[in-house]
Amino acid sequence: MMAARFLRRALPALRQVRSYAEVATGSPQMSFTFASPTQVFFKEASVKQVDVPTLTGAFGILPAHVPTLQVLRPGVVTVFNDDGSSAKYFVSSGSVTINADSSVQLLAEEAVPLDQLDVAAAKANLEKAQSELAGAADEAARAEVQISIEANEAIVKALE
Amino acid sequence: MSGMKLILLTFFPSPKAAPVHFDLTLRLRSPACLTFIAVRMFARTSALVFSPQCGQVRNMATLKDITIRLKSIKNIQKITKSMKMVAAAKYARAERQLKPARVYGTGALALYEKADIKAPEEKAAKHLIVGVTSDRGLCGAIHSNVAKTIKSEIANLTGAGKEVMVINVGDKLRGLLYRTHGNHILLNCKEVGRKPPNFGDASIIAAELLNSGYEFDQGSIIFNRFRSVISYKTDRKPVFSIDTVASSENMGIYDDIDADVLRNYQEFALVNVIYLALKESSTSEQSARMTAMDSASKNASEMIDKLTLTFNRTRQAVITKELIEIISGAAAL
C-alpha cells in the first residue's frame, strides 16, 4: 500500500517532465531537517526526495506529500539531493513529521552514514543477540534482545 | 575614639610638636597608630592592660590576624580562579553540543507549532511542571530563577483551582521547593550536572514521568535558555498530553495516524523536548558559573590589595613602635 502510494506520487512526475509550468506553480520546496541528538545532517535543506523506513512500511517523501506523522524502525534512510546525488544513512529509531507546508522533520535517535558501519561487526552482534534470545528471562529483557536482533538484521541487510 | 584622644593629649600634646626627647623625626601617620602607641605606653606604666570598651572603637588588628586573613583570601582566590577555568572548559564543550541539540529540539517542537496545538483552557485540570536545574551551586541565580518561575506558576494554577505537580531535575531545585511546595513534588532527579547530559538521561526522565501514572492534561518545561556567555533567560516549552494532540482540530490534516503511532510519536517528542531543556540548561549553568567565579576572583584580588596595604601600614607601625621603645629606653638611661 505504501509502495502504491509511492508509485502514485512518482508517476505524475514522469508525465510532467517536459512541462515547465508545473514546476513554477506546483509543489513548494521541501524544507528537510534531518538530525540526531548529537549531529545535524540536513537543516532546512531543499532536497528532491527522501526514503524513510517506518513501522508501517518504507515510503518515499516528495515535496507536497500529504501531511503525516510516522515512527521510524531500524533501517536505511536515502536522501536524494536536487543535483541527483544520493546519500544513505542508517537510523536506529525516531520519528518523521511531514507538515502541510511541505516541511519534513526527520529526527533519529541514532543515525550514521552507511559507510561508517562494519558488516562483520554487525554479523557478530546479530549472532550474539540471537543466542541471547534463548536465555532472555523476562519480558523487558526479551524485548531488548529482539530490538537488538532487528537492528542488527537491518544493518546487515543494508550493507549487503 | 574620643576616650583615646584624651590619653593621647596627656602624652603628646600634638603630633606636630614632636616631643623633644626624641632624636628622630617620627612620622606618625594615622591617629590609629598614635592611639596604639599611646595604649602601649600607658600599658607599660600600669599593670593593667587598658583596652578601650567604647562601642565604636575597633581593636587594631595585629600583624598575625592580617597575615592569616591574607593567606586565606589568597587560597580562595586560587580556588575560584581554577573553578572559572574548569567552568570555561565545560562551557565550551556544552556550547558545541548545544548547536545540533537546538536543531533537533526545534525540529521536535515543529509539529506543535505548525499544527498550532493548544490545550483547551477550561478542560485542562491537571498540570505538570518539569523544572530543569542541576545539583551544584556557585552559579549565580540559575536555580533561584527557575524556582521563582515555578513558584509563581504554582500560585497561579492553584489560584485557578487546577492541580499541579512538579518534577525536579536537579537537587538544588528540590532544596528550594520542598519546604514550601513539598506536596506538589512528584519526582526528584539527582546526579545532574556532573557529566554533560545525553539523550539517555532525557529518556530516563521521560520514562519515569510516564510510569508515574500522573495523567496530566497539559504541562510545561521550565529551564534556562542560553542566549550568550553573559546572558541566559528562563524559558518554558509546552508539553502536551496524547489526548490533547489527538483531539486538536488541526490534527485532521495529518493522515494515516493510528493511536499507537501517535503514542510512540508523543513519547519520543517528550524525550526530545526534555533533551533540549537539559542541554540548554547545562550550557547556561556553565556560563553563569564562569562569570560568577570570575567576579569572585576579582573581588578576592581587591580584598587582597586592600589587605596588603593595611598589612604594610601595620608592619611599619610595629617597626616604628619598637624603635620608639628602644630609643625612649635608651634615652632614659
DSSP codes, A88-144: EEEE-SEEEEE-TTSEEEEEESSEEEGGG--HHHHHHHHHHHHHHHHH--SHHHHHH
Confidence of residue B257 (pLDDT cuts 50, 70, 90): confident
Q: Is B114 in Cβ contact with A95 (below 8 Å)?
A: no
State the smallest CA–CA distance between residue A68 and chain B in angstroms. 4
Tell me which amino acid residue B125 is.
Answer: A
For the record, the C-alpha cell of B53 comes out as 570598651
Q: Do A37 and B199 lie within an 8 Å CB cutoff?
A: yes
Residue B250 CA to residue B227 CA, distance in Å, equals 32
Q: Which chain A residues touch B104 with a CB distance below 8 Å? A: 35-37, 40, 107
* Chain B residues in contact with chain A using a Cβ-Cβ cutoff of 8 Å: 97, 99-101, 103-104, 107-108, 110-111, 114-115, 198-199, 253-257, 261-262, 264-265, 268-269, 272, 275
Instruction: Give the rounded percent of residues in chain B with a pLDDT score beyond 90.
Output: 62
What pLDDT does residue A115 have? 85
B301 pLDDT band, cuts 50/70/90, is very high
Whether pLDDT at A23 is above 50: no
Nearest chain B CA: its distance from A57 CA (Å): 12
- Model confidence pLDDT, tens digit, residues B225-240: 999 999 999 999 999 8
Nearest-CA distance from B93 to chain A in Å? 12
Please, which pLDDT band fits residue B179 given cuts at 50, 70 and 90? very high
Over 60: is that where the pLDDT of B37 sits? no
- B46-84 in b/e form (b: 16+ CB < 10 A) is eeeeeeeeeeeeeeeeeeeebeebbeebeebbeebbebb
Q: Look at residue B279 in the predicted model and tell me its pLDDT.
A: 96
Interface probe, candidates A59, A65, A95, A96, chain B, greatest B C-beta count within 10 A: A95
CA pair distance B283, B85, nearest whole angstrom: 15
Instruction: Tell me which residue in B104, B253, B261 faces A36 most closely, judged by beta carbons.
Output: B104
Q: Taking CB atoms and an 8 Å limit, are B104 and A97 in contact across chains? A: no
Q: Give mean pLDDT, residues B33-37.
A: 51
Calpha distance A115→B275 (Å, rounded) = 28
pTM: 0.79
Percent of chain A with pLDDT over 90: 29
Residues 6+ apart with CB under 8 A from B135: B170, B171, B172, B190, B191, B192, B193, B194
Provide the 3-class DSSP secondary structure of residue B137.
coil
Q: Provide the number of CB pairs (under 8 Å) joining chain A to chain B.
A: 79
Output the pLDDT for position B271: 94
Residue B202 to chain A, least CA–CA distance (Å): 11
How far the first Cα of chain A sits from its last, in Å, is: 26
- Nearest chain B residue to A100 by CA distance is B253
Main-chain phi, psi angles of B255, to 5 degrees: -100, 160
Inter-chain residue contact B103 with A101, CB threshold 8 Å: no
> B242 pLDDT exceeds 80?
yes
Nearest to A122 by CA among A89, A77, A154, A76: A154
B290 against B13, higher pLDDT: B290
Least CB–CB distance from A66: residue in B107, B199, B255? B255
3-state class percentages of chain A: helix first, strand second, coil last, to nearest 5: 40, 35, 25
Residue B81 clears pLDDT 90, i.e. is over it: yes
Task: Indicate whether B251 pLDDT > 50.
Answer: yes
* A98, A103, A105, best to mutate vs chain B, most B CBs in 10 Å: A105
Inter-chain contact A95–B269, Cβ cutoff 8 Å? yes
| E strand or H helix that includes residue A72 | strand A68-72
ipTM value: 0.78
With pLDDT > 70 as the criterion, what percentage of chain B qualifies?
A: 82
B55 grid coordinates: 562601642
User: What integer pLDDT is reported at residue B227 of this predicted model?
Assistant: 95
Average pLDDT over residues B245-257: 79
Judging contacts by C-beta atoms under 8 Å, the chain A residues touching residue B275 are 37
From its phi and psi, is residue A155 left (phi > 0), alpha (psi between -120 and 50) or beta? alpha
Q: Does the beta-carbon distance from B199 to A33 stay under 8 Å?
A: no
Cell (9 digits) for B274: 526534555
In sequence order, what are the residues at sequence separation of 6 or more whose Cβ sits closer than 8 angstroms to the Cβ of residue B80?
B293, B296, B297, B300
What secondary structure letter does DSSP report for B18? -
- Asked if B268's CB is within 8 angstroms of A70's CB, the reply is no
A33 to chain B: closest CA residue: B107
User: Per-residue pLDDT averaged across B82-95, rounded?
Assistant: 96
d(CA B233, CA B227): 7
Question: Tell me, what's the pLDDT at B51?
Answer: 55
Helix (H) / strand (E) containing B185: strand B185-189
CB contact under 8 A, B110 and A103: yes
Looking at the partner chain, which of A43, A101, A109 has a beta carbon nearest the beta carbon of B199? A109
Could you report the per-residue pLDDT of A25-79, keeping only the tens digit for each? 445 788 999 999 999 999 988 999 999 998 888 889 998 888 989 999 899 999 9
